[in-house]
């Protein structure tokens, strides 16, 4: 019996990478499942790739401020930053 695997984008988390209000690089999973502060973009990308199973298609770089919040849902809100949520979903699909 052949098992059907889902495409990588269906099982991977979307990770938002941007700078916080202090200029630090932030990588934050869209639902707040994981995230971290980094000294440069390369380290944020490396972390995001490791955490999402090496799926660069699920990483979104933004010029908007992204504040790390590990106590509740991520503070990145597409409607507040002008990014359309459907474009995030289509990018991951």
Question: In this structure, how many other beta carbons lie within 10 angstroms of the beta carbon of residue 92?
Answer: 19
pLDDT above 90: residue 7: no
Query: Across all residues in the chain, what is the average pLDDT?
Result: 79
Is the pLDDT score of 16 beyond 60? Answer: yes
Q: What is the pLDDT of residues 59-72, one digit of tens each?
A: 999 999 999 987 75
Tell me the percentage of the chain whose pLDDT exceeds 90.
56
Extents of the domains making up the chain: 8-92
Pinpoint the alpha helices (H) of the chain. 8-11, 41-51, 78-81, 85-92
Q: pTM here?
A: 0.66
pLDDT in tens, 69-85: 877 554 455 554 455 55
């Amino acid at each position: 019996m052949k098992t059907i695997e889902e495409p990588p984008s269906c099982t991977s988390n979307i990770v938002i990478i941007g700078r916080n209000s202090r200029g630090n690089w932030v990588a934050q999973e869209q639902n707040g499942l994981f995230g971290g502060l980094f000294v440069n973009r390369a380290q944020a990308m490396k972390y995001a790739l490791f955490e999402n199973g090496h799926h660069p298609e699920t990483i979104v770089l933004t010029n908007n401020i992204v504040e790390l919040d590990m106590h509740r849902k991520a503070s990145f809100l597409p409607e507040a930053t002008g990014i359309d949520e459907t474009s995030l979903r289509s990018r991951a699909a």
